[in-house]
Amino acid sequence: MTQAQYRVLIVEDEPSIRDVLRTLLQTANYRVVEADTAARAEIEARSHKPDLLIVDLGLPDGDGEVVIRNVRKWSPVPILVLSARTMEEQKISALDAGADDYVTKPFSAPELLARARAALRRNARGSEQTSVLKIGDLTIDLGQRTASTPRGEMHFTPLEFRVLECLARETGRIVTQRQLVREVWGPDRDGDTRSLRVFIKNIRQKIEPDPSRPRYLITEAGVGYRLSAPVTL
């Protein structure tokens, strides 16, 4: 599918920012639909079935998180948050609500477009329902629960592979520390980020060409981790 065939729903109440986003996306050959309230956003989302949502959190009739949660009840469409809220707790809350990525205002136009492209690619790959993922020279077979490089199969402990699997299933998306701990260790270990950091370090030692400068397993400071190939802006 070409970019001209992708439809993006902008959910933003500030007219000047909406104008900038519309111009930016249309120049990049996306079709654009707009909503300036939470109520209108849900109507437009159901009516137009967009391929991507860009959602502001501060809307005049409610919080953008409500839009995200409601859309998530019926659609896996990629959702990119664009917000002036910069506190880590606010980012985590939006991601836990179902957002795929988070960009803070003021934003870089090339970065926003790169993240939009990445979200659309991930969604396209996910629709293929493949269990084999390629990240750099690392191949992860989720079905066989194996990982390998051209140098041969890599050994991971069961818990290491579980962390890697959780990240791999959300390739390119931020997975919060809370999500990882809950999925790997269970809800009774909520908040045990110390163990998680140890496992992340061990995984990096195995998959990164230079673990001190990660290219694939990226830390999103104070929020979580992202498994992805490098993005060129």
Predicted confidence (pLDDT) at residue 145 exceeds the cutoff of 90: no
Predicted confidence (pLDDT) at residue 152 exceeds the cutoff of 50: yes
What is the pLDDT at residue 10? Answer: 98
Highest averaged pLDDT of the listed ranges 16-25, 66-75, 130-139, 169-178: 16-25
- DSSP code string of 127-162: HTT-SEEEETTEEEETTTTEEEETTEEEP--HHHHH
Model confidence pLDDT, tens digit, residues 207-222? 888 899 998 899 988 8
Predicted confidence (pLDDT) at residue 22 exceeds the cutoff of 70: yes
Predicted confidence (pLDDT) at residue 154 exceeds the cutoff of 80: yes
| Residue 107 Cα to chain centre, angstroms | 17
* Residue 95: other Cβ atoms inside 10 A: 24
Which DSSP symbol is given to 84? S
Question: Which runs of consecutive H residues, i.e. helices, occur in the chain?
Answer: 15-27, 38-48, 64-72, 88-97, 109-127, 158-168, 177-185, 193-207
Domains of the chain and any CATH numbers: 3-127 (3.40.50.2300), 132-227 (1.10.10.10)
Average pLDDT value for residue range 8-34: 96
Highest averaged pLDDT of the listed ranges 75-79, 80-84, 187-191: 80-84
CB–CB of 157/150 below 8 Å?
no
Mean pLDDT of the chain: 85
Predicted confidence (pLDDT) at residue 128 exceeds the cutoff of 70: no
What is the pLDDT at residue 232? Answer: 38
Q: For residue 130, what are its two tokens?
A: 């493949």
Predicted confidence (pLDDT) at residue 85 exceeds the cutoff of 50: yes
- When pLDDT is cut at 50, 70 and 90, the band that residue 150 belongs to is confident
Give SS3 for 216.
Answer: coil
What is the pLDDT at residue 8? Answer: 97
Q: How many degrees, rounded to 5, is the angle at CA 176 between CA 210 and CA 121? A: 75
What is the pLDDT at residue 18? Answer: 96
- Alpha-carbon dihedral 49, 29, 94, 84, rounded to 10 degrees: -140
Q: Exposure string (b/e) for 98-129, b if CB count within 10 Å is 16 or more?
A: bbbbbbeeebeeeebbebbebbbebbeeeeee
According to DSSP, the residues that pair with 149 across neighbouring strands are: 152
β-pair type (79-83, 152-154): unpaired
Please tell me which residue, 224 or 140, carries the higher pLDDT value: 224
- pTM (whole model) above 0.85: no
Measured distance CA(131)–CA(169) in Å, rounded? 9
